[in-house]
Amino acid sequence: MENKTVENIHPTFDKLVQRSEKESRLQQHAKVFWFTGFSGSGKTTLAVALERKLFEAGYLTQVLDGDNIRTGLNNNLGFSKDDRAENIRRIAEASKLLLNCGIITLNCFVSPMIEMRDQAKAIIGGTDFLEIYISTSLEICEERDVKGLYKKARAGEIKDFTGIDAPFEAPKNPALEINTGELSFEESLDKLYNFAISKIKYS
Q: Which residues are catalytic?
A: 111
Half-sphere CA count of 62, side-chain side, radius 13 A: 18
Q: Which ranges in 2-155 belong to alpha helices (H)?
A: 4-7, 19-26, 43-56, 66-70, 81-100, 114-124, 138-144, 149-154
Helix 185-200 with 43-56: angle, nearest 10 deg: 60
Torsion sign over Cα 17, 18, 19, 23: negative
**Sheet order of strands, 61-65 included:** 61-65, 104-108, 32-36, 129-134, 176-178
Whether 23 contacts 30, CB under 8 Å: yes
Q: In angstroms, what is the C-alpha Rg of the chain?
A: 18
**Which string of DSSP letters, residue by residue, matches 2-13?**
--HHHHT----G
Instruction: Choose among 49, 55, 74, 85: nearest CA to 191.
Output: 49
